[in-house]
Amino acid sequence: MKQSLFFSMVKYKIFYAFALLLFPLFFSATIIPFEYIDGKIIINVDIKNKKHNFIFDTGALTIISSELKGSLNEKKSNAVFEATDANNSKSRMDLFSTSDLKIDDLKFKNIEFSFADISWMDSRACKKISGIFGANMMNNKVWRIDFKLKKIIVSDKVTESSAESVSINFSEENFTHVPTINVNIRKQNFNVFFDTGAGSGFTLDSKSYQLVKDNNFLIFEGLLSQSLSSISKGERHLDMMEIEINNKALDNQIVDTSSDSRNLVGTRFMENFIIDLDFINKKIILNPIGKSPEYNSLGIAFAAVENHLVIVNKLKVPQLSELNVADKIIKVNNIDVSKINSEKFCEIKELINTSNEITIQNETGKVFKLEKKNILQYLN
């Protein structure tokens, strides 16, 4: 009996030591569940014991809704932040600091931020958004993003990367701490922002895109993106291109462009990996999960415009040639949407997001059956 107990204890100690080696990240770690909506990671941030929805955004400085002004014991700084958003629009914002932001057991001291009107985000997310959790709040921690489990694990330690993982050194923008990495796209070298606030794959500005484009690509037209102080409209090209990082080929990945956009990589690329954002050693580790790039879409996107459901974005393919940007939709799956408010829009949006096929009717009475598919097949 003593011998059996001794071996059990030895086995337990060996297992415990092995577990310590294998799972260092999970000791003294904070687990943050998130919602994943339209390519945006949304987390809960506590402000004086009240939860608020923030967008987890490595591509930005922390921003808090103007509605919360005066409720954060904020202190105004003498400095002014000059920001350039993803659409290359410039703005000047006053800076403040606060120590009233908290997530679970994580307390953030003297966080610098700006107030802004972000009410337009509510209708896009179909929930109240109170702020942007920016890169300057991620300093000196490791943030593991698991898109499958919809969890962020925050720690002071890093797991060892595997042979399949890709380790990338990053540099930081002054003051904001926004990470930038170096990538090769079709043998051309680019510096890109690692931006969890962007729902794209790799996005290149027009000049950069001209260096790598070929004659086989998809075109979207209409509303391309909306950011803190600007809206981008026009045409966006989308293609699959060979990506290489640190001399490691990542095969073909989604690359697109818009007329006014800085070079960045967003969550449509990141969701194919477990991501370790190591703000201690300034490294990003991509851990493959065996998922290939996909772009599942009906080929059109809707928004509520002046109480009407309107097509605001469309893929230019023959199958959708009879639908146009700005068309008003009066029925979705026989539901009357001729007049629509924000609540009704969110119900329709949920229906569209969870359906593989929908039927719509435009104001001329014409009916269209739309199927959700991986539009990358149109590139073949």
Give per-residue pLDDT as tens, 310-365: 999 999 999 999 999 999 999 999 999 999 999 999 999 999 999 999 999 999 99
pTM of the complete model: 0.87
**For residues 108 and 111, what is the distance between their CA atoms, to the nearest angstrom?**
6
Note the pLDDT tens digit of each residue in 19-28.
334 444 445 7
Contacting residues for 154 by C-beta, under 8 A, at least 6 apart: 29, 30, 31, 32, 103, 106, 141, 142, 143, 144
Tokens of 174: 């002054």
**For residues 57 and 159, what is the distance between their CA atoms, to the nearest angstrom?**
23
Instruction: Kindly report the CATH class assigned to 296-375.
Output: mainly beta
* 218-254 exposure pattern, b = at least 16 Cβ within 10 A, e = fewer: bebbbbbbbbbeeebbeebbbbbbebbbeeeebeebb
**For residues 373 and 165, what is the distance between their CA atoms, to the nearest angstrom?**
29
**For residues 241 and 211, what is the distance between their CA atoms, to the nearest angstrom?**
12
**For residues 191 and 240, what is the distance between their CA atoms, to the nearest angstrom?**
19
What string of DSSP letters covers 57-82?
A: ETTS--EEEGGGTTSS--EEEEEEEE
Task: Work out the pLDDT band at 124, boundaries 50, 70, 90.
Answer: confident
Domain coordinates in residue numbering, the chain: 30-146, 159-288, 296-375
Note the pLDDT tens digit of each residue in 333-344.
999 999 999 999
For tokens 């609540």, the residue is 343
Dihedral sign, Cα of residue 9, residue 11, residue 14, residue 20:
negative
For tokens 């300034």, the residue is 282
Please report the pLDDT score of residue 13 as a whole number.
38
- Looking at domain 159-288, does it have CATH number 1.10.10.10? no
Please report the pLDDT score of residue 9 as a whole number.
38
Instruction: Choose between 2 and 155: higher pLDDT.
Output: 155
**For residues 94 and 80, what is the distance between their CA atoms, to the nearest angstrom?**
5
Mean pLDDT of the chain: 88
Q: Give percent above pLDDT 90 in the chain.
A: 78
> For the chain, what is the radius of gyration of the CA atoms?
23
- Integer angstrom CA distances of residue 333 from 72, 293, 307: 45, 29, 19
pLDDT at 98 over 60: yes
Superfamily of segment(s) 30-146 = Acid Proteases (2.40.70.10)
Tokens of 226: 């909306």
Tokens of 126: 């179909």
Task: Work out the pLDDT band at 91, boundaries 50, 70, 90.
Answer: confident
pLDDT at 380 over 90: no
* 143-159 exposure pattern, b = at least 16 Cβ within 10 A, e = fewer: bbbbbeeeebbbbeebb
pLDDT at 4 over 60: no
pLDDT at 12 over 80: no
Note the pLDDT tens digit of each residue in 190-221.
999 999 999 999 999 999 999 999 999 999 99
Note the pLDDT tens digit of each residue in 150-192.
999 999 987 667 888 999 999 999 889 999 999 999 999 999 9
Please report the pLDDT score of residue 24 as a whole number.
43
Continuous segment of H or E residues that includes residue 269: helix 267-270
Please determine whether the domains at 159-288 and 296-375 fall in the same fold group of CATH.
no
